[in-house]
Structure 1
Amino acid sequence: MFRHSVLPHKMIWKIFPKLAVVAVALYSMIVGVSMQVDADGHKAAIIELDGIIAPVTQRYLENSLEAATKVDSEVVIIKLDTPGGLLDSTRAMVGLIIESSLPVVVYVAPSGAQAASAGTFIAAAANIVAMAPATSIGAASPVQASGGDFEGALKEKAYQDAAAEIRSIAERRDRPADVLESTVFEAKAFSAQEAVDLGIADLIANDLDDLLREIDRMSVEVMGSTGETQRIINTQGISLHYIEMGFFNKVLAFLANPNLAFLFLSLGGVGLYAEIRNPGMILPGVVGIICLILAFMALGNLPTNWAGVALVILGFILAVSEVVVDGFGIPGVLGIVSFILGGSILFAHFGTPDPFEFGVSLDAWMFGSMVVLVTIVLAVPLIAIAFARKVNRGIPIPQTIGLIGNALTSIDQQGRVRVRGETWNARADQPIAKGRAVRVLAEDGDVLLVTSEDD
């Protein structure tokens, strides 16, 4: 006899707060931010942007500003250190900052940090621009995704686009347009003191406490329900609250690296190739799939040339076709060529230029290492097959009788097997499942008579 139990109401009310905490934590991971909240509501929200400006950075800023607005933060401080980033993400972030209902301060920090390329646009869009000592801002000239300069009419279009964007920001925030334009047309960069002297930065602050003292009682314009309104920043007795990037977004930010993307893409292809050549190993296939998932997560946050990705994948498909259909090594060689070509244009940009974009390219050592690895993995089996065919040429007696191989397909009277590194047509008197070990009983021309090794 079974007894049904029901949770008492008191127990449910005790569990409910814990479930609520878990739900909030999971939500924070999904939206990508977490923030401590006090009852007094007098706080400065700190957002740390460190690295490439990419879609994951845009989502982090958007969610962070939303979280800070919900708890009515006094001011939002963006600690910025970036070499640049992507066009769409930069424009979206500039719009988020300008349309914010809270005062936004961009603080280029710590010492040694930079607000280069796209970072210049983001900093200029803030209500207040502060810089730590030994930091820099500028060098906003557009470059191609591969890192090279534009030429001719394309160069003029890219520069004019970037200049128009930064002029509009300068007009909105009452900053010197000519100085900001020089970061585009002349690739000028300025130290913290130079930036303050020229008016593109408002102050120099040694640390966050110093910054809060400096901006206290400053009046800025923010977007209200009826348009722009004046707001006085009050930092007396204010507390600092860091809005952290969620775990998932941290992973995406870490993966937003061209070398990691190419590494995972290459290893993923190699893993799946090894699994197909040796069915039943499992581990290479699992690792390969995981690497490919990570590769596409990374590529989605980079200025990827998807034609390059397609060529890399085509290279592995051609290599796999060599396993299934004997092509005398030609598909394998074409696969290696396709992989090299795809890798070389993986981050090349041939269309309309991204005026904020800094150069994204593969490290030569990473590219060379992966080319050597993939070439070895794909070429060694091809060389072994060619050598075996050369050695066996002219020998009239069967060379496969008694050897053990693997069934590449299910064999129900007919199928395909792999024996001694070669793919053969095969037939069997009894059905043999795909992946099972087989023994060669006889040769009939280019067809092998096989039986299950378990028999």
Structure 2
Amino acid sequence: MMIGIYGLIFEFSNPGFVLPGVVGAICLLVGLFALQLLPINYTGLALILLGLALLLAEAFLPSFGTLGIGGIVAFSIGALLLIDTDVPGLGIPVALVATLAATTALFIFGVSGLALKARRRPVVSGKEALAASVGVMLDDMPPGDTATEGWASVQGEQWRVRSTVALGRGMPVRVIGRDGLTLIVEPLDDSQGEQR
């Protein structure tokens, strides 16, 4: 009971930490069962509902598996406590509970693994992907003392570009920076253009 209460207190004082709240809720319900304050059927049902709620929350909250593991534990304990009878054949088979828990754990760890793998992939969109991109000038930019502006096609989109050197239509350019919605470009060497 005390672990459950302290877990909930810690979760409420540090919202978003998740683990103390999950452990606290499970321990509190099991503690109430141990003290015979709740009938066993309601305790099992409450643990099953808590487990299902935690499994559902795992899909929407960034808890990195904590809610999912807590949901599996709560669901398993609740399924074992749900039926209060010694009559053979009326209880929930332990093999069924173990199979459901193992299947759910494999699913959660598989999805978490895929999420971590996707997180390590390089950025393919946004301003990070524009750096060092190659494009083609769409119009002529005359030489000038200051940076002049024109239009270029970069990654299949038309961008306003700025350069300190003269650029001609159809000339390959490389993005070297960005100023708001204007890209800063430089001419691309022929050797670099061939490599790309």
Confirm or deny a common fold (TM above 0.5): no
Tell me which interval the TM-score lies in, with the shorter structure as reference length.
0.3 to 0.5
What TM-score does the superposition give when structure 1 sets the normalisation length?
0.17
**When you count helix as a share of all residues, which structure comes out higher?**
2
Relative contact order higher in (CA < 8 Å, ≥ 6 apart): 1
What TM-score does the superposition give when structure 2 sets the normalisation length?
0.36
